[in-house]
Amino acid sequence: MAGDSVISPQRSKDFGKHEHGCDHYKRRCKILAPCCNKIFPCRHCHNETSNSLSNPKDHHDLVRQDVKQVICSICNTQQEVTQVCSHCGVNMGEYFCDICKFYDDDITKGQFHCNDCGICRVGGRDKFFHCEKCGSCYTVDLRDNHFCVENSMKSYCPICFEYLFDSVKSTRIMKCGHTMHMECFSQMTMQNHYRCPICCKAVLDMSAFWEDLDMDDV
């Protein structure tokens, strides 16, 4: 599909930067979802739309690696997945991953692709390591400092039931090694629930709490 005009002037690569995108990402292209042959700003927009359809049988998620075509938001040219538009020459994403077919103009997030996870992460490559047993990237302060649970992140949050591995929300690794969303963890502890919903082990150091109770009994 050609652009709106047959001839399009070559733009600077930064043209339109941070001016296009959706609530999830700032980027200068849209994606053509191969599963339903419809155009969306990003895979999250696709998933939100498809999973809100009235017929549950129509619900589905987009496999990011399956995207083959994108549409430049500047000149409206449909083309194969690439960082620079083949028609007008803009960077369709300051950060670009040709494996995940991922574009983002906001590089302050510190995006990087983890080959072991098979997807892009945020936060800076130098601040994360991949735990082979847990099957995910964790912050370097948890290296040799967490209890490993086989494929812990490849599971669902025990509070909201969203899949954790590719969630865009921050996660919390509990003392027992199980994981949940940070927001869900905070809500759980605010309601005075201090045990892991999966294994029932304490998620916080409760020694000070028990000492206070003992003093109250004296």
Question: Residue 174 CB: number of other CB atoms within 10 A?
Answer: 22
List, for residues 125-147, the tens digit of each pLDDT value. 999 999 999 999 999 999 999 99
Q: Quick check: 21 and 27 in contact, CB under 8 A?
A: yes
Of 61, 80, 107, the domain-final residue: 107
Residues 83 and 158 in one domain: no
In a shared domain, residues 200 and 121: yes
**Do 102 and 183 lie in a common domain?**
no
Using alpha carbons, select from 156, 142, 11, 158 the residue that is nearest to residue 76: 11
Residue ending a domain, choose from 66, 88, 107: 107
Strand 29-33 relative to strand 38-40, pairing: antiparallel
Task: Compute φ and ψ for 177, nearest 5 degrees.
Answer: 100, -15
pLDDT in tens, 149-179: 999 999 999 999 999 998 888 899 998 999 9
User: Encoding tokens for residue 182?
Assistant: 């940070």
Range(s) of the domain holding residue 33: 29-107
Please report whether residue 103 resides in a domain: yes
Statement to judge: residues 118 and 78 lie in one domain: no
Looking at the fold, whether 100 and 139 belong to one and the same domain comes out as no
Out of 1-15, 41-55, 75-89, least confident range? 1-15
What stretch of H or E contains 102?
A: strand 102-104
The whole-angstrom separation of Cα 202 and Cα 89 is 55
pLDDT tens, residue by residue, 10-33: 778 999 999 999 999 999 999 999
pLDDT at 211 over 80: no
CA distance 113 to 120: 4
Domain boundary among 67, 91, 107: 107
Identify the band that residue 207 occupies on the pLDDT scale cut at 50, 70 and 90.
low
The verdict on residue 11 lying in a domain is: no
